[in-house]
Structure 1
Amino acid sequence: MTETRETRIKRMKMRSMRRGIKEMDLILSAYADRHLDSMDAAALDTYDALLRENDQDLYQWVTGQAAAPAALSDLIGDIAQTFQK
């Protein structure tokens, strides 16, 4: 069964809010609220892949403590810019 765009975005917003650590809940839920509705299908695919990553790794990537994988580096950079504002 395929997901509608609306259902997919709702699922990803919920997944962004319900992470493992509070810091990532705050960072990703704010980013998702601002950006998911305007993303195209490819960008949503990348964000969905990001949601499968470990919170401790995500936090280090977003805060610049470690380099993000190449496939996620542009998205991580965008999230980091949003986080720093």
Structure 2
Amino acid sequence: MDTQPIDAHALGKLKWRCRRGMLENDLLIERFFQRHETQLTARHAAALTQLMNLSDNDLLDLLLRRKDPDDELNSPDVREVLHMLRPSARSP
């Protein structure tokens, strides 16, 4: 299991890949990077990339807990990244 943080180049590519067309998703993803970018590993990056392959509406449904990941998205790594992405009840 890769526990080393990804390098700056990989982080930049990941941020570029995470740009979305829906403002709500962009805001949640931006907050995610503000909180977690220094701790992201290759495992997190792979799970986040899987989530970015979703449509904006499907991604937002997962982020807002309207639905849970299923099929190939139902993995421990994706669930961990979703937990990191989702707004907490304490978020303003």
TM over 0.5: yes
Which letter maps to 1:78?
Answer: M
Contact 1:63–1:80 (8 Å) recurs in 2:
yes
1:12 maps to 14
SS of 2:11's equivalent in the other structure is helix
Mark the runs of 5 or more structure 2 residues left unpaired by the alignment. Answer: 1-5
2:26 maps to 25
How far is the alpha carbon of 1:55 from its aligned partner? 1.3
Aligned residues: 81
How far is the alpha carbon of 1:68 from its aligned partner? 1.8
Contact 2:63–2:85 (8 Å) recurs in 1:
yes
Once the two structures are overlaid, the 10-residue window that deviates more, 53-62 or 68-77, is: 68-77
Contact 2:17–2:49 (8 Å) recurs in 1:
no
Structure number with higher helix proportion? 1
2:84 maps to 78
Q: CA RMSD in A?
A: 2.2
Higher relative contact order (CA 8 A, sep 6+): 2
Once the two structures are overlaid, the 10-residue window that deviates more, 75-84 or 41-50, is: 75-84
Contact 2:62–2:68 (8 Å) recurs in 1:
yes
TM-score (norm 1): 0.75
Distance in 2 (alpha carbons) for counterparts of 1:83 and 1:68? 20
Distance in 2 (alpha carbons) for counterparts of 1:83 and 1:19? 23
How far is the alpha carbon of 1:46 from its aligned partner? 1.3
Which letter maps to 2:32?
Answer: Y
